[in-house]
A and B are shown apart, each in its own frame.
Chain A
Amino acid sequence: MLRRTTTISGIDAPARLAELLDHHDYLADEGVTTAAYLALKMGRPLFLEGEAGVGKTELAKTLAAILDAPLIRLQCHEGLDAAQAMYDWDFPRQLLHLKAAEAAGVADVAALEGEIYDRRFLIARPLLRALETQPSVLLVDEIDRADDEFEAFLLEVLSDFTISVPEIGTISAATPPVVVLTSNRTREVHDALKRRCLYHWLEHPGFDREVAILRRRLPGCAERLAADVARAAGRMREAGLLKPPGVAESLDWTEALLTLGAAELDPALAAATLGAVLKHREDQETVRAMGLLTPGGGRG
C-alpha cells in the first residue's frame, strides 16, 4: 500500500508524483506531472494558466494533501496591498502594551520602542505565514486580478523567499514553500514575474481522461453517464461558446444528473440541468440551436 502523504525528498521521479496525485484523485497528464515535479524539486513557483475550470486551483490543493502541508491561499484582487498580503502590525495591542508600560512607570523609552516592534505584535498575512510555516503550499489565486503594484511585492517574496519588515529585519524561509500561481489570463502578467516561475498552460482533458475524472470524483457515476457527459462537454468546448465548460462544470453537471437519478444523458434531462454546465443564456441558446443535447447530435 502506498503511503498517502510524503515529503518532497520522497518523490524521486515524475512517475512517483503521478502515482501520488492519482491516489489523491487528481488524474494528471504528463505535462502537469512534470511541471509539478520540477516545481517541487527546483523550489520554483509554478505558474498555471488556462481557461476557468481546468483544475488549476485543484492541483495546489492536491499538492498540499500529498505533502500533508497546510494550503495557504491568497485570493488576488485589485488594490491588494502589503498589509493584506504580507504582514500588518497589531496596532491596538501595541497601544495597550504602551499604556500598560506607562501605568507601570517604565522610563526606558528605547527599550519600550524595541518591545513594541516585537514579532509577537506582527500579524502574519498569507505570504508571511507561508514563509513561516514548514512545509506549506502557497496558492496565489487569480494573479491576473491583482494590479502591477502587487506583482512588485510578489517579485521580492518569490525570488528570495524573504520578506523585509523595516522594524524587525528580514524574515526568510528555511525551506521555501511550494508556490502555485494561477491566472485566467484576463490580462498579461508581467514577464519579470513569469521568468521566475515554471510556466504551464493547462488544457481541457481529452475524452478518456475526462471520463476517468468524472468516475473517480463521483463514485456513483456509471460509465455510460460519464461518457455521455464527457462527449457533450467536449462538443460544447468546440462550439465557440462565451464560456466553454471546464472539468469543474462537467463535474457539477454530472452531479446534478446523478441527483436526479439519471443513468444516461437524455435530451429532456440535459435541457433541465443545462444551468449546471452553461452559465450564459446565449450559450444555452447556441447549444440548443446546434442540437448538441440530443444523443449523437451536432456530430456532422
Chain B
Amino acid sequence: MADGVAVARRAGDGPGPVAVLAGFARALRAAGVAADHHRTQSFLAALGHLDAADGRDVYWAGRLTLCAGPDDLPRYDRCFAAYFSASSAVRRVRGTTVSVTRPVATPYGGGEQEPAGEPGAPPATASEIEVLRHRDVARMSEAERREAHRLLALLRGTRQPRRSRRYRPSPHGGATDARRTVREILRHGGAPARLRRRVRGTRPRRVVMLVDVSGSMAAYADTLLRFAHALVRAEPRATEVFSVGTRLTRITPALRHRDPGLAMDACSAAIPDWSGGTRLGEEVRALLRLPDPRGAIVVIASDGWERGPADLLGAQMARLSRLARRVVWVNPHKGDPAYRPMTAGIRAALPYVTDFVAGHSLAAYEALAALLAGDRPVRRAGTARKEGADA
C-alpha cells in the first residue's frame, strides 16, 4: 500500500526503517501524545508480528501501542498522515472536533508569567495583606495581583474526607478482623490471641472544578485557575479541573506542574477557547457523560452569562445535583452587595446549587477552600442561598 511505500521511501534516503519509526514516535511526542521510550519499543515489537510494509499494519501497530486515550486518536491520525504523507489510506477514525492549540495571551502579562515572589517585590506586611485579602481581583494593580497569587499558592486545597470501602487495621475498636486475628493465632501455635479490629479508612473526596474562561470572566479566569492549581497540588489524584467556554477541556494534566507559573502557561496552551462565549448547559452535559461526578464536590466558577438555552442548563444541573455530593457555584460578581442573580443562566441553575458563594477576593477564595475542607463558610446574613437537593 501507499503507506508502506512511504515507509520504504523514507527509509531509503534515511538511516533505516527503525530510525524512521522512532522518528514517527518523536513526531507524535511533539504533537502531545505520550509516546515514550517504553511505548516506542512496544511499537517496534508489535510491527515484528505484522507486516511493516503494509501501511494499515503500521497504522494499527502504532495506534495500539503509542496512544493512551481517545484524545490521542485525532492527534495520532493527523500525525500519521503528515509523517507518512499518504493520507489517502488513513480514514479519520473519530468524528470529534480536532482541537487546535494556539498560544493565547492570558488576561494579564501576555502569557508570560513571572515566578511568584519576584526578588524586586518585597513581601507585603500583615496589614497590607489584610487590605489585599478583601480587594476585588479585577481591580488590583499588577504588584498587588502578584502578591495575591503568591498568597493563593500558599492556600491549602484539602477537602473533607469521605469513608473508603477499603479497611485498615485499628488499634481501638471497630469490627473484628477475622483474617488478622486467625493469622495471629497461627503465629502463636494455635493459642487464642488478642482480637484484631479493623475500620473503614478514609479517602479525600473528589473535587471536580469547572472554570469559565469566556470573555465575561476574563478578569477572574487567571485567579480561578490558580485556585484550581492549589486544589490539584493538594490532592493530585482526587481533583479534576476543566475549562469551560464554548467547549469542555480537561486541564488537570496542565495543572499538575508544581510551579504555578508553569502550570498557568500549560493551561493557556491547552485551552482552545479563551475569551469566547459560554455554553455551560452543553458542557455540564459533556461532564456528565465523561468523568463520573458521582459523590464528588462539583465547583462551578462562572458568572452564568449563558449563551445556550437556559432550560438545557437547568435540566443538566438538575441531573448533576442528583449525582454529585455537593454543587458549589462560585460567582465573582456575588461579592458586590448590589448583585442580584438576574441572568437567565444563573436563575435556571440556582435551584440545584448547594452553595452559592462569592469568588472575587482572596478572602472569598479562603472561604471557598474552607468550605471544601468541610468547615462551614462564614456567611453574611442574606447573601448565602441554600436551596435544592443537599446530598
Residues of A within 8 A of B (CB): 14, 30-31, 34-35, 37-38, 41-42, 44, 49, 77-79, 81, 83, 88-89, 91-92, 94-95, 98-99, 102, 109, 112, 116, 147-149, 185-188, 191, 194-195, 198-201, 203, 240, 242, 282
Contacts and interface: CB of A to CB of B under 8 A. Distances in A.
Contacts of B186: 91, 94-95, 98, 116
B70 A198 contact: no
Contacts of A94: 182, 186
Contact of B182 (A91, A194, A201): A91
Instruction: Tell me if B's interface is mostly helix, strand, loop or mixed.
Output: helix
29 contacts: A34-B50, A34-B60, A34-B64, A37-B50, A38-B49, A38-B50, A38-B61, A38-B64, A83-B179, A91-B183, A91-B186, A92-B182, A99-B190, A102-B190, A148-B237, A149-B166, A186-B291, A187-B292, A191-B68, A195-B39, A198-B42, A198-B64, A198-B65, A200-B63, A201-B67, A201-B94, A242-B285, A242-B319, A282-B319
Contact of B289 (A149, A242, A282): A242
A35 B183 contact: no
Interface string B98-135: 00000000000000000000000000000000000000
Contacts of B60: 30-31, 34-35
A181 to B, nearest CB: 13
Contacts of B185: 95
Interface string B272-302: 0000000000000100111110100000000
A198 B36 contact: no
**Count class of interface residues, chain B:** 35 or more
B56 interface: yes
B312 to A, nearest CB: 10
Contact of B64 (A92, A102, A200): A200
B73 interface: yes
A191 B38 CA distance: 12
Contacts of A200: 63-64
B183 A31 contact: no
Interface of B: 34, 36, 38-39, 42, 45-46, 49-50, 56-57, 60-61, 63-65, 67-70, 73, 93-94, 164-167, 178-179, 182-183, 185-186, 189-190, 203, 237, 285, 288-292, 294, 315, 319
Contact of B166 (A81, A91, A242): A81
Q: Which 8 A-B pairs have the closest CB atoms?
A: A79-B165, A186-B292, A91-B182, A34-B60, A79-B166, A41-B49, A98-B190, A78-B165
A152 to B, nearest CB: 12
A282 B64 contact: no
Given A34-B64, A194-B68, A42 B49 contact: yes
B179 A14 contact: no
